[in-house]
Amino acid sequence: MPAPKNSIRRSLLVISTIVLSTVLTAPVALAAPSPSSKPSAGSSATADPSKSPSKKSKDSKESKESKGSKAAPPAKMSTVGGTRLGQAGTQVNLASGVPVLPKGLSARSWIVADAESGEVLAAHNAHWRLAPASTLKMLFADTLLPKWPSSTEHKVESSDLAGIGSGSSMVGIKEDETYTVHDLWLGVFLRSGNDAVRVLAAMNGGVESTVKEMNEHAEELQAFDTVVVSPDGYDAEGQVSSAYDLTLIARSGLQKKDFREYASTVRADFPGETKKNKKGKKVRDSFEIQNTNRLLSGDYDVPVYQGIAGVKNGNTTNAGATFTGVAEQDGRVLLVTVMNPEKKESNGVYKETAKLLDWGFKAAGKVDPVGELVPPGSAAQAGARPGAGASPGEAGGAGEDAPGAVGGKPVASAAAGSGAGGIGTALAVTGGVLVLLAGGAFLVNRRWPLPDLVRRRPHP
For residue 380, the model assigns a pLDDT of 67
- Distance CA(102)–CA(341), nearest Å, equals 14
CA dihedral angle for residue 320, residue 369, residue 142, residue 333, rounded to 10 degrees: 100
Of the candidates 56, 353, 72, which has an alpha carbon nearest to the alpha carbon of residue 227?
56
For residue 218, the 8-state DSSP code is H
Amino acid at 70: K
Q: How many CB atoms lie within 10 A of CB 142?
A: 24
Which residue type, as a one-letter code, is found at position 206?
Answer: G
Would you put residue 320 in left (φ > 0), alpha (ψ -120 to 50) or beta?
left
Q: How much is the pTM?
A: 0.74
CA distance linking residue 458 with residue 430, whole number of Å? 12
Instruction: Name the burial class of residue 61, with classes exposed (0-12), middle (13-18) and buried (19+) by CB atoms within 10 angstroms of its CB.
Output: middle
- CA proximity to 144, closest of 193, 198, 204: 204
Tens digit of pLDDT per residue, the chain (460 long)?
444 444 444 444 444 444 444 433 333 333 333 333 333 333 333 333 333 333 343 343 444 444 444 689 998 999 999 999 999 999 999 999 999 999 999 999 999 999 999 999 999 999 999 999 999 999 999 999 999 999 999 999 999 999 999 999 999 999 999 999 999 999 999 999 999 999 999 999 999 999 999 999 999 999 999 999 999 999 999 999 999 999 999 999 999 999 999 999 999 999 999 998 888 899 999 999 999 999 999 999 999 999 999 999 999 999 999 999 999 999 899 999 999 999 989 999 999 999 999 999 999 999 999 999 999 988 767 654 444 433 333 333 333 343 333 233 222 222 333 333 343 444 332 232 232 222 222 222 334 445 455 444 444 3
Q: Are 327 and 455 in contact (CB under 8 A)?
A: yes
CA-based R_g, the chain, Å:
21
Cα separation, 231 vs 188, in Å, equals 11
Quote the strand ranges of 98-202, DSSP E: 107-114, 119-124, 153-155, 178-180
- Cα torsion at 5, 11, 17, 20 (round to 10°)? -80
Which of 212, 311, 196, 192 is closest to 259 using CA atoms?
Answer: 311
* Phi, psi torsion values for 218, nearest 5 degrees: -60, -40
pLDDT at 377: 87
Cα gap 353→305, rounded to integer Å: 10
Q: What does the DSSP assignment read for 413-453? A: --PPP--TT-TTB--B--SPPP----TTHHHHHT-----S-
* CB-based contacts of 307, cutoff 8 Å, min separation 6: 327, 328, 329, 455, 456, 458
Residue 7, SS3?
helix
- Residue 71: per-residue pLDDT: 80
Q: Is the peptide bond before 433 cis (omega within 30 degrees of 0)?
A: no
In the three-class reduction of DSSP (H, G, I as helix; E, B as strand; rest coil), residue 311 is classed as strand
What residues act catalytically? 134, 137, 192
For residue 298, what pLDDT is reported? 95
Burial label, 69 (beta-carbon count in 10 A; 0-12, 13-18, 19+): exposed
